[in-house]
Amino acid sequence: MANESAPHDNGDKKRKWGGKAKNLQHGSHPNKKRNMGRKEHFRTQLDRRGRNEAEQSKRKEQDQKGDQEDSILPSAFPKEELEAEERRPKRKVAVMIGYSGTGYKGMQIDKKQKTIEGDLFTAFVAAGAISKANADDPKKSALVRCARTDKGVHAAGNVISLKLIIEDEDIVEKINSQLSPQIRVWGIQRTTGSFSCYQACDSRWYEYLIPTHSFLPPHPSSFLGKKLEEFAEAKNDVEGYRKRQAEVAQFWPDVEEKFIKSILDTLDDSIRPLVEEALYTVDATDAAGPDLDIDTAEDVSQTLPAGEVPSFAPGESIVTAEGHAENGISEPVELDAGSRNPVADSEVMLSGIAADAEVQEAISSIQKQDPTLTLDDQTDGSVPLPNNTVNKPTLEAAIKALKRAYMDAKKAYRISPERQARVQEALDIYVGTRKYHNYTVQKSFKDRSAQRFIKSFQVAPKPIIINDTEWLSLKVHGQSFMMHQIRKMVGMAALTVRCGTDPEIMRESFNDVTVRIPKVPGLGLLLERPVFESYNDKQAAQHGREKIDFNKFTKEIEDFKEREIYQRIFREEAQGNQFNTFFTHLDNYRDPTFLYLTSGGIECTKSKHANKSAQKNDEWEDSEDEDVEGGEG
């Protein structure tokens, strides 16, 4: 009888490999390690005790070799201290916290970098909530986070679950005394022994604060501004495009006539065309990077070290915006360039730490356009300049004056109800279950984890005005979010509105297509609170545990948000103009990447992406060294 295990045909091959031949891919080998399902994967893993023993064994081996990595976490205590320490019971708890992410490299603990969890864990040890025996490894305390926020992202309410020593009645005060004012523990409460704040969380609320001038259309002379007009005509969509931009159609013409013309008229004929070239035709492809990751490139947060509390002068508190000026420009902000010498005043006109860099970038762009141009540094103007030579200080002052005038005009903008309604209509498209593979990193359309459910995405009814700039509050409620997802969702909605794009492009982005969506600055993102309805109603009630509820800390949280989060956001934006830099850079990005925002749609970018290498796309997509499987926002 023939040996049934001998593979004579496809049927025999199927029998030889246990009936799994249909699972083998072309070019694969039956002995090759295969992908396992989740259940099988976990069955093959060590249990918790086994993992701890393996980790401890690895650390001992490193110590013996003398290559133990430097860590910012607490060092292991001497043996005699460990032996003398009193044994105290640990309890499984939920720790409700709030923090300002400024100056921190995110939520998740990292031995090499300053993180929220790192500071919290160190404070737990210092306060006696974690024993000295467990101080060298957070895993010994079974630490789990509810939501892992990205670098610079804030949280009014977040939760970590772990085992703590909570016998002291003033344990919360002891922990807070070891923390900077940027991090607060609201409360600690007992939970069930099996509680995991990540698994038990039903949903999460996030808030995103964005200046309303982010919804203004690109300047007509910018690269994107020109392409929007060109494709609207080419695709016979001029009427639709004009209708979608109707409420802001006169914004730029009015700004040019009222505020820019008077500055240009003061310039010499040799300077004026160069200034216009610098403002409107900057080659942005070599600037801050195609991912437009402004918070990484500028790192404005470094101007406010961890622990420093920014403050405003009296009178600069939050107020609600009342009424809307004609053409969207509010009257109280001074913009009358004719009443002063704009070029002479330019040294004090342009705010933001990146101002000088932007001016030098503009001048470099001018020299690229005309390599024969010579810049002269004389300041007294006593020596006549030769042909094709311009005075550099004069050119710099003129560029600064115009940049400041444009920035002042944007800050004076007050969004109309019609424009705000368009923002809400765009956000409504996210509600429900969608595929967000284009809204994170390294996810494909077929990846089931890219499917997420959004319960609501609302614009606050009234904008607020801070430092003469109007802001909108956007609040999203969803089950969970992938890395950068919220920042990309806000980015896509803002781009759709400001570019007068047919909102259908947002629905297309959920399909099996590639749409490169830049993420708006992390500065405006805030985790409001996680929700634990199922745990509170079932397990907590059944076992006599308190509900995890942030409402009992409302007063403390609101004070903290105003002092440590909102003020920091508004102050950093006033210093760095991150949102203006972000959208201006995008408007001048001379590449087909963002032409899907035009009436040409996704077809405008398909051929470009087909010719891009995978490595280039990966570099493009995300410049931050982060774990793509973790984190939210």
**d(C-alpha 549, C-alpha 176), whole Å:** 20
* 64 and 90 both lie in a single domain: no
Does the pLDDT of residue 560 top 90, yes or no?
A: yes
- Residue 163 in any domain: the answer is yes
- Residue 319 in any domain: the answer is no
Q: What is the DSSP string of 483-537?
A: TTHHHHHHHHHHHHHHTT--THHHHHTTSSS----PPPPGGGEEEEEEE-HHHII
* 84 and 161 both lie in a single domain: yes
* 57 and 119 both lie in a single domain: no
Token pair recorded at residue 20: 């799994």
Token pair recorded at residue 199: 């698994």
The end-to-end CA distance of the chain, in Å, is 64
- The residue behind tokens 């006539």 is 257
How far is C-alpha 201 from the chain's CA centre? 22
**d(C-alpha 533, C-alpha 479), whole Å:** 12
How far is C-alpha 99 from the chain's CA centre? 16
Does the pLDDT of residue 583 top 80, yes or no?
A: yes
Mean pLDDT of 286-313: 38
| Host domain of residue 64 | 38-68
Q: Which helix (H) or strand (E) holds 614?
A: helix 614-621
pLDDT band at 230 (very low <50, low <70, confident <90, very high): very high
- Residue 439 in any domain: the answer is no
* 127 and 152 both lie in a single domain: yes
Residue 118 burial (C-beta neighbours within 10 Å; 0-12, 13-18, 19+): buried
What percent of the chain has pLDDT above 70? 66
Q: Mean pLDDT score of the chain, rounded to an integer? A: 78
* 193 and 124 both lie in a single domain: yes
Give Dmax over CA atoms of the chain in angstroms: 109
pLDDT band at 56 (very low <50, low <70, confident <90, very high): low
DSSP 8-state class, residue 604: H
DSSP 8-state class, residue 536: I
**d(C-alpha 461, C-alpha 420), whole Å:** 9
- Residue 113 in any domain: the answer is yes
- Which of the residue ranges 429-433, 567-571, 600-604 has the most confident prediction, judged by mean pLDDT? 429-433
* 94 and 195 both lie in a single domain: yes
Cα–Cα separations (whole angstroms), residue 149 to 157, 457, 523? 11, 19, 12
How many CB atoms lie under 10 A from the CB of residue 375?
16
**Active site amino acids:** 150
Reported as a single tens digit per residue, the pLDDT across 238-248 is 999 999 999 99
Domain boundary among 182, 200, 218: 200
Residues in Cβ contact with 553 at an 8 Å cutoff, skipping those fewer than 6 apart? 96, 186, 187
Query: 390 or 415, which is more confident?
Result: 415
Token pair recorded at residue 582: 């972000």
Radius of gyration for the alpha carbons in the chain, expressed in angstroms and rounded: 29
Mean pLDDT of 156-173: 94
* 188 and 103 both lie in a single domain: yes
Does the pLDDT of residue 104 top 70, yes or no?
A: yes
CATH for 92: 3.30.70.580
Token pair recorded at residue 532: 């634990």
Cα–Cα nearest to 155, from 166, 164, 163, 145: 145
* 87 and 45 both lie in a single domain: no
SS3 (DSSP) at 175: helix
* 113 and 139 both lie in a single domain: yes
- Residue 611 in any domain: the answer is no
Poorest-confidence range of 316-320, 366-370, 513-517, 604-608? 316-320
* 160 and 196 both lie in a single domain: yes
pLDDT band at 68 (very low <50, low <70, confident <90, very high): very low
Residues in Cβ contact with 44 at an 8 Å cutoff, skipping those fewer than 6 apart? 36
* 64 and 85 both lie in a single domain: no
Reported as a single tens digit per residue, the pLDDT across 585-633 is 999 888 899 999 999 999 988 754 444 433 444 433 443 434 444 456 6
Reported as a single tens digit per residue, the pLDDT across 326-382 is 445 554 333 333 333 433 333 333 333 345 666 767 767 766 666 766 676 665 555
**d(C-alpha 216, C-alpha 220), whole Å:** 11
Reported as a single tens digit per residue, the pLDDT across 184-228 is 999 999 999 999 999 999 999 999 999 999 999 999 999 999 999
Q: At what angle do helices 485-498 and 417-428 cross, to 10 degrees?
A: 140
Domain boundary among 183, 200, 217: 200
Q: Three-class SS string for 103-152?
A: CCCCCCCCCCCCCHHHHHHHHHHHCCCCCHHHCCCHHHHCCEECCCECCC
DSSP 8-state class, residue 25: P
Binding positions are 206
* 84 and 151 both lie in a single domain: yes
pLDDT in the model for residue 81: 67
- Residue 260 in any domain: the answer is no
- Residue 561 in any domain: the answer is no
- Our CA dihedral for 473, 478, 483, 485, rounded to 10 degrees, sits at -60
Binding positions for substrate are 206
**Quick one: residue 176, left, alpha or beta (phi over 0 = left, psi -120 to 50 = alpha)?**
alpha
Q: At what angle do helices 272-280 and 355-369 cross, to 10 degrees?
A: 110
- Residue 403 in any domain: the answer is no
Report how many domains make up the chain.
Answer: 2
